[in-house]
Amino acid sequence: MQKIVDEYLTKSGKSAIEFSTFSQEMVDNIVKAVARVGMEHSEEFAKMAVEETGMGKWEDKVAKNLLATEYIYEDIKDLKTVGVISNDKERQIMEIAHPLGSILAIIPVTNPTSTLMFKILIALKTRNSIILSLPVRAKGVCSYVAEWLYMVALESGAPKNVIQWVSTPNREMTRLIMKDERLALILATGGKGLVNAAYSSGTPALGVGPGNVPVFIEESSDIDFAIEQIMISKTFDNGTICASEQAIIVEKKNMKETLEALKKYNAYLVPKEELSKLENIVYDKKRKNMSGAIVGKSAKYIAKLAGLNAPKNVSLLVAKQEGIGEEFPLSSEILAPVIALYEAKNYSHALQICSRINLYGGKGHTASIFSNNEERITEYSIRMNASRIIVNTPSSQGAVGGLCNNLAPSLTLGCGSGGRTSTTDNISAKHLLNIQRIARPVQRIRREVYAVS
């Protein structure tokens, strides 16, 4: 196995050296061509991903693929990534961009094609070679997409082996590549085990921690609008975005209106007597994590599997909860159209619940609020240990950026120190550069300053 790892890294290293000599114009031509093919085949790739993985909705995966190509391209196309990228004459500091070298990109099964195309584009834009570690359950579609993009990159002048992929995924091989000193960086998006392995490998890593996103419907908000937006987010691609809402928190005086709105939008409030059935299906108590069998499945599918008396047109399963933690499995991250609901006594109590959910498996990731009270939006934001506070917006679409706000579009969301990552940013091309700074004097250092008295 080590021999195969050596082959990947040797080829990647040679490619990276050659790529480092490319001009900005050469790089931009390659990136434009690769982005275009991703856009043109976004529907094909989406349908293949759903067919192979059984997760999500192909229509929503088209939107993800377009985010990963069209929106990412528009965001990075004018970014300088070669040679002198800035020259501040007042501060007398010049900045020069250098590539990192060989990058390992871990691709998640929940968003396989979109994450793969996103990581390839930002690697190419920064003159880095990339090795893709593919998810077992999406290796077919990922290999297909990677080959498409690689051939287009070669035709556009990219060096040989600038994109490689492990077509027969192997966890041990991935770990060996991670630990190799020839690797410059790991872009880790995937299961908790692989992401933790990336951080403990000794190689610099940029990754995504788990999300357990609270959404607070504050009393000044339009509750019907808030529920509509939450439904748009939580049912998008059957809840496979890690920034999707996981728990709705509402004050007692607004609970009746909230329940009416949920019913209006075809959500099913799971009765107390059915909660254990739902828990047993969506949560794996041995692994203390969501069950892989329901990730990316529809509410209708999950309801039938659990034996719930949900209506045929159900779009979201809502589980009222009394507590947070291991004794309440539905208080954790569930990447499916299942959401917890909490009734708070008052505003202060609502903040406490939101904070506890945020800290229970979602530190550093994302929190959401619907409110028209700026003071309370600020107070909520300060209380949350979250890199992104999404306001009056579907959290899934808001957190990834570019669609309904001005956050950088990205399929890899930094979670700061709370999520054991090194940045709170939405990861983009600028994070894959070594920036060299040339500093010239702005004043003389006089000898007498350092003279011994």
| pLDDT at residue 283 in the model | 95
Q: Residue 452 — pLDDT band, cuts 50, 70, 90?
A: low
Average pLDDT over residues 186-191: 84
| pLDDT at residue 451 in the model | 65
Task: Tell whether the model's pLDDT for residue 134 goes beyond 70.
Answer: yes
Structure token pair of residue 412: 């890899």
Task: Tell whether the model's pLDDT for residue 446 goes beyond 80.
Answer: no
The CATH number given to 2-208+422-438 is 3.40.605.10
Q: What is the 3-state secondary structure (H, E, C) of 265-285?
A: CCEEECCHHHHHHHHHHHEEC
Q: State the pTM of this model.
A: 0.94
**What confidence tens digit (pLDDT) does each residue in 335-344 have?**
999 999 999 9
Number of H helices, E strands in the chain: 16, 17
| pLDDT at residue 374 in the model | 98
* Nearest Cα residue to 49 out of 143, 129, 153: 143
Q: At 292, give phi and psi (nearest 5°).
A: -65, -20
Q: What are the residues whose beta carbons fall under 8 Å from the beta carbon of 152, sequence distance 6 or more?
A: 33, 34, 37
| pLDDT at residue 363 in the model | 92
What is the phi-psi region of residue 413: left when phi exceeds 0, alpha when psi lies from -120 to 50, beta otherwise? beta
The overall average pLDDT reported for the chain is: 95
Catalytic: which of 142, 242, 354, 415? 242
Q: Return d(Cα 384, Cα 306) in angstroms, integer.
A: 33
**What confidence tens digit (pLDDT) does each residue in 63-77 have?**
999 999 999 999 999
Q: Exposure of 451 by Cβ count < 10 A (0-12 exposed, 13-18 middle, 19+ buried)?
A: exposed
213-398 fold: Aldehyde Dehydrogenase; Chain A, domain 2 (3.40.309)
Average pLDDT over residues 427-439: 97
What is the phi-psi region of residue 238: left when phi exceeds 0, alpha when psi lies from -120 to 50, beta otherwise? left
Indicate if 142 belongs to the active site.
no
Ordered by start, the domain boundaries in the chain are 2-208+422-438, 213-398
* Higher local confidence (pLDDT), 297 or 191: 297
Max alpha carbon distance in the chain (Å)?
88
**What confidence tens digit (pLDDT) does each residue in 23-61 have?**
999 999 999 999 999 999 999 999 999 999 999 999 999
| pLDDT at residue 449 in the model | 63
Task: Tell whether the model's pLDDT for residue 426 goes beyond 60.
Answer: yes
Q: Return d(Cα 368, Cα 387) in angstroms, integer.
A: 11
Q: In the 8-state DSSP scheme, what is residue 330?
A: G
Q: How far is CA 26 from CA 38, 71, 79, 147, in A?
A: 19, 21, 14, 21
Structure token pair of residue 156: 């556009």
